[in-house]
Structure 1
Amino acid sequence: MFDVIGIGFGPANLALAIAMEESGCGLRARFIEAASGPGWQSAMMLDGSDIQHNPVRDLVSLRNPRSRFSFINFLFEHDRLLAHLNLPMEFPFRKEYGQYISWAAGHFADRVDYGTRAVAIEVRYDAASEPYYVVRSDAGREYHARSLVIGTGRTPYVPAPFDTVTSERVFHLTSYLPALDRLAAEAAEKGSDWPPQHVVVVGGSQSAIELTLDLSRRFPQARVSTYCRPYAPREKDTSPFSEESYFPEFTDLYFAADRAGKASLDAQLRLTNYSAADGDVLRELYCLIYEQRLDDAQRVFVHGNNDILAIHDDGATQRLTLRDRVAGHMTEVAADLVVLATGFRDLGPAKHQERHPRIMDAIGDRFAVDQHGYLVIDSDYHVEPVGSSMPPLFLNGLCESTHGIGDAGSFSLLSIRAQRLLDGLNKRLP
């Protein structure tokens, strides 16, 4: 019987593990991670790509700037601190930050079961009629705990018409590098055509622009077409005033707001993180296209104002039907690969959201929702049960609908959230 079972061991639960270690809280914790080893965004470790937050907003520093688990100490221990500080870059390479995450996770290898996927959760009762959680793994192993912390990350959002496609040639960005490696290996084995001649990227986000640039370098003879719904890809709102939405004070403001207030804040701040790209990659892409036009050899294209209405899997070719959102005319495009930079699902009642993380399916109806259909989540990330018969359950890195834009998918408040969540565990576990 553990005090805490953490499902997932990405940055969110890693930051919690570090907070537990440094606090000396004495809670017995075990983490379950589906991946075969520590890592972070391994499918998007693109050459030249950087992170999008100040590196000091790491796993620990806002909570404990003296921590040995900081990014600065990682650089120091690897004899790269001075060289890193001399880099003419605003933000570090993503691959270096990925190495930092793996290094930090390595300190907790004895508390993590890698290659273990949690598939179901149930509640049982001990001899004293006290409830506890049972988490079953894909190998049939059971983990028993007095509380759960779910830090699985958000579910990739695959919108229609792609949600019914089963082809290996249509995949979400979370599978990008493994999918390319698999397809290349299959082509070599079968003697089929490779590399692709035309790749379509769907979306207008930072990831969409990064993928477009990477594909243009990886397959220099291929046509790369990016389709997005707005008129053109948009630049992120990086105003320092807007960036204060990634302060803990904003989290408190957002948490206290009613649903209409939350919706207003979401609309105002969306471009700080979603459906937009950093200026540097937008400029790089624009200059690339311009130079190709100078050479009368344009191979990279960005098409705005487009809805993709249908896709037909024709074996090695994917045929897409598109509609211009302004002019209304229809076109058809054939592609060898389609990469979906379509984002992730938040928690909520909308069509593109999910009511709770999928691992909670068997127990989801035992937790309260508000009048708008959102889970009732406390300020310390504890999910309110229906009645009093449920052990404590927390969501880590999944609470953007209640805690604001700095919560899901962002490093900005990772360490502070870990402390709040740990305080909640200490309060609720006698």
Structure 2
Amino acid sequence: MTAHAHARAEQPVVVAGAGPVGMVAAASLAQAGIPVAVVETDPVPRTDWRASTFHAATLELLDELGVAGRMHAEGLVVPVYHFRDRRAGLVAAFDFGLLADETPYPYRLQLNQQHLVRMLHERLAADPLVELRFGTTVTGVRADAGGVAVTVRDAGGEHELRGSHLVGADGPGSTVRRCLGVDFTGYTYPQRFLIASTSVDLRSLLPGIADVNYIADPDEWLFLLRTPESWRAVWPVRPETSREQATAPDTLQAQMQGLAPLPGGYPIVDHQIYKVHQRVAERFRAGPVALVGDAAHINSPMGGVGLNSGIHDAVDLTRRLARIRAGEADEEAELDAFARIRHQIAVEYVQADTQRNTERLMEADDARRKASHDEMRAIAADPDRARRYMRRASLLESVRRFGVGLPPGEVPRAAAV
């Protein structure tokens, strides 16, 4: 072993970002016996309510990390979801039970992402292999023959961390990605999305709805879903509407009353407004530095696959890093395979499906909207087509096709399935 190789073997893997994807990466590395340093700008773990859906393929991976049981104890199992029209009502119901012979998790698990972060934070804080550095910001990245040097700033000033590799899980505004000079190509929707959560049980006011509902409308589509804490409504905000107007209490109340009248008003327990993008990084790695999750790709939330695909990125990468660190694999081949496969999945599955889902909800042309609804009805009515549709929606298709973290020589065989 060369001096550089020996030095790298003694260094931790640095993970930038302590959101759900970064924490999964850290937990996966620690489980493999690899020391980890997690760097996070926020002083404490985030309590972001934005993502809340965990699909079957993701639950399989999280079960291997030993956290799926606890997630189920706190989460909400949703086997059926609806595609609806705001004027015509139910268009199609999709039952993940059709996948029961393929996965132990034939459903969506609804659980706000902050709970997964909390669970993993509790585990990692007690793990001697893991150093958690909250209140610390990445300001620079430099790769060299000895690994990677990460410049960080904390309360004590600016200094340097050494690592064998760097995992950039620091979100859509990724400092790691900017330091690498990687383009984040794509576009931003003109509308912003607004999420409002209420403790009111919307099923009592909207009989017949499922726990997850995608509701098409040419003027104002809706996304309604239930979580253990609340019901959540997502709707578009016009470009000309200011943030202050969109989030004013009277506006939020009017929007909720537009769903179903409720004398006395809706208690709003949380709300967020944010821009929505369809973007993919030009490349997912540079030397010993790799991008995962929102740092690598960001998409519309319609389909609930952004968080899930980010977790798949993290597990794929960390399985490869474990083989590299153990001296069992060629570093370039492994990291190239990660970058190529995860980029392909981001484009062919995540971006393509979320864009199609969003466009289906907001379609304004009557003929195209009717054709889309007819297609959804036909898919739901045919068990074989419905099964194929839900294999893709649950990310099982991409995982069965490409695997997660398979050695480079095994990927073509998996991709041919």
Q: TM-score, normalised by structure 1?
A: 0.41
Q: TM-score, normalised by structure 2?
A: 0.42
Greater helix proportion: 2
Greater strand proportion: 2
